[in-house]
Chain A
């Protein structure tokens, strides 16, 4: 078995909740003792309902947040111990796609500028090379080249999500952290983007950490599924096993909620 691309060990993160005049501030343990690993080229689905701490795990791995405790071993380097300056060379390899594509983009930029921005920040390539990579990323995300001059607001929800994906792909990342990327979309658009993610993964062998509350979707996308509840990992295993015989009550709850989708709606009351 190849060594894992990412190994997370005993990750913990506490946030400070601001107090008011009458209530003192308090500490909220968002994530405690979370450990898992992802093999190169595979997808780990991180499931859980809102507030379970899965986004905090994602933000720690992307090092938007610094974890309080634990190790984030990416190809053997512990990202948790690095300073922001030391992290710079690792940034292109780990990219994040957010749920709300519209708020994750500069509204005054054209599509081409939005996609090229990460290359500029990383100081990659000449103007000509950057333009070529932007064209390639747009093609991979299923965006017609002639839309490169359009502003973000001229795109539909699904097209905007393609745009954020193109922006992540332009850096040729090894790990893509996807935080509920399909949640705000129509059912038909959701399936299109899910298939696009599968195609991109098949073409480039990118590793995915896919966050969702929807086990139905993860059943299609993930090789393994990890379930979080109340800041902790409560169950982890191969997707078919999690879907067929969930052990933890939280997994069963999530499965029952998406089970509503599995039965055709006309099947009865």
Chain B
């Protein structure tokens, strides 16, 4: 009996492992992508679908924990950023292999960074590191030590590595050999992708079991949000990463345990006016849009509370600036949303010579104030917002024409022909650090939406913003940066080049069968801890 006991325990533990493994083996996580990924090359990722694949397959040196918003070691066990922020040294994890068995070393990190920073590649991730011209230098100190030196200091250097999936320098599979929890096993273009577990994934749980728990991930390409909801209700998919307010309410009514609202997110919705001097607009309209009082008046004529309550069903709040309140460190808490005050708006307009005549607002030359706002068609939320703003502006005698366009036509108008008057769009913010939006705020930049590519700042306040953004980019002192960014927010609040409308909540729908789920505000809201998700009895569900 005594001799048999250890054997019995051994057999029991083996049996239990097998049973547990069987409970998970063949398990599949299923969710939908809104569009087919444009690329599977992690260095060229720019759309949400490709980013999803990169997140699930890419191994990174450090990962920003989406819940704690702190950097955690991944393929790098430790790292150090130099005092002036122009270099970073890593100690790499040992005995790690790519999905095809190729060993991981400092050479792969060097290779990845050299490719990423190649100016000819024009990688969006690479451009985030590029604070000036010049090449990077990689210094490998053995297989598991590497230092990367940049030509100039890079603000928030360490956090940027969350987006850099390490590629193999030697593998014949090139970018298909990965270090993340999954690898791409099948890609039916435009239909679905199947990701299988990486057999060589380095991460293990506390009990020594290799992660991920779920064996495979199926990503279906599904453009229709209503059908996606239906599939979630039927159990055909396991979660919806981003739910609209309408669908959130429906889900909450039907299955409250499946609906998650993580609170106000980082994204914003805003309107801006075309202030490009060479645009094909009549001169009097250019004068309107260039007037700060005009923009402030429009802003004060829009009822943001109603937008949040009616369009977003209470799952949004009036926006103040380009930094969301969810971004606790960078948000300027002294600023409040512009109040809905049409009397004040009319006062501002009268200062610019506008007057009400027979119920219609006219400028000093007698032109009736009428302009159009373009937005992307098929986006019901924006169409509703535009309709509400149309009614709000009618209250001060302004006629607003809502024009919905297909997205490529809209992009052409706002970036090439500048044949538009106002535009209603949203900004998707993945990055907590506002330095990521440098190219939106510099007056000389392409993405300076209301008046891009200025040879010299057209206004004093834009010159001020240029100076402040450059100041914050040139120092790693968080306090100084915060002061500069606060000031930029203040200027934007006063001048209203963007009329910020609302910040939406981050909402998701998750099947009750999915475990260890803790939806958060940062993307990817639901599957940020994908290797720890499981289906069935194990783990917990967070709220």
Verify that A and B bind, or say they do not.
no
**Interface on A for B, CB 8 Å cutoff?**
none
